Amino acid sequence: MSILSYLMLSTMVGVSTYFILSRYLGEVILGITMLSNAINILLILSSHKVDTGPDPLPQALILTAIVIGFALVSLFVAYVLNRVRVTGSDEVEGRDPC
């Protein structure tokens, strides 16, 4: 993997971590999706070998991860929409930091 790939992945992980730590559930959904995509890209890039053909096992694992990630995000979106309908906001309430 090249240095550009590492920079792209570290940026994606950093931005997704920032979104996951947000108070708004819409940004948390975006962060989980970005982190899932970054991990899938890392698996694709790390499974590439120059001298041999493509290995089908990492491709199958990534396809499974995409399906599980889609189901997770769909369930979380349904939860957030229900919460917005009930409370009128997607902000997570809690105590303020000292």
Give me the tens of pLDDT residue by residue for the chain, a chain 98 residues long.
688 988 999 999 999 999 999 989 999 999 999 999 999 998 888 887 778 777 788 889 999 999 999 999 999 999 999 999 998 888 888 766 65
Q: 10 Å Cβ neighbour count for 67?
A: 10
pTM assigned to the model = 0.82
pLDDT value at residue 11:
95
| CA 94 centroid distance within chain | 24
In sign, the C-alpha dihedral spanning 32, 34, 36, 39 is negative
Nearest CA-CA partner of 42 in 70, 85, 79, 12:
12
pLDDT value at residue 19:
95
